[in-house]
Amino acid sequence: MRTPRCMAGRVMWELLVAPFTEFAFMQRALAGALMLSLSACPVGVFLMLRRMSLTGDAMAHAILPGAAAGFLIYGLEIWPMTLGGLVPGAAVAVGAGAVARLTVQHEDASMAAFYLISLSVGVVMVSLRGSSVDLMHVLFGTVLALDDAAIVLIALVLVVTTLAFGLLWRALVAECLDPLFLRSVSGMGTVVHFGFLALVVLNLVAGFQALGTLLAVGLMILPAAAARFWTQSVLAMVALAVAIGAVASASGLLLSYHLSLPSGPSITLSAGAAYLASVVAGPRGLVVPRLPRRRHRAA
């Protein structure tokens, strides 16, 4: 006769572990999502600290035309779609930065203008040559259909991102705290800025196959925004954002499996739930700072 503890353990195994041990597509989806968390969440932290969170959203839309062109010409081939996404993403980043530095317009406005043009071109391309199913795939991704080539791409982006952070960490932190100081004492300000934008584009392109152009930025920004409510240290914020992203990835895939929900939105909603919980319960959120503090009586 099975004890209640054994029954509870069996139920927990079936709910939380069995989907990842029994199905190869769930294993690939989890591996891809976890690597994306390791790579994209630190990028999201620096986007947030630099007050460029909406820039990530703009860049996610900007890669659509190139990815759509690769999709329409070669079909669901990972490398043509990846290279196609890199070209307009880089063009929008460089173009918006150039307009901001050479004209009176600020970078947020020029980025918005470029990404709206890019997004419109991409949607028109897919609508003219593809079906509504094709459009949904490009916009929202298919994390449960990740193949070996997609896993290799995400792994390569993770390696490049890790190396870049190792080289540029101090400069990125300095630019977040005081960008004018970095530019005054070093000529690396512009290099660091555009190098960081390149990391944003790379991670969005890596997340494109798994989560699509519209949701890839969710895994980048939401865990970072949630981590901000728990700590002030940049390093601790990065570590916590990665942990939140990993938990959101696993829980989103489980929700998708058990409730027959779309996988990409499920991962993003899980990260959104972590963000809302952090807003309420985090030490720097809405509730905790307003709780009455006990005063210690002097002995």
**Which is nearest to 269 in space by CA: 245, 252, 257?**
252
Q: How many residues does the chain have?
A: 299
Q: How many angstroms separate the CA atoms of 107 and 121, rounded? A: 21
37 and 249 in contact (C-beta within 8 Å)?
yes
Query: Tens of pLDDT along the chain (299 residues)?
Result: 556 677 777 778 787 888 888 888 889 989 999 999 999 999 999 988 887 777 777 777 777 777 777 777 776 667 777 787 788 777 877 777 777 777 767 766 777 777 777 777 777 776 776 555 555 666 666 777 788 888 888 999 999 999 999 998 888 888 777 666 666 666 676 778 788 888 888 888 888 767 776 677 888 889 999 999 999 899 999 999 999 999 999 999 999 898 988 888 889 899 999 999 999 998 888 887 777 766 555 44
pTM of the model: 0.83
257 conformational bin, left if phi > 0, alpha if psi -120 to 50, beta if neither: alpha
Quote the tokens at residue 62: 């900007």
Yes or no: say if 62 and 208 are a contact pair by the CB < 8 Å rule: no
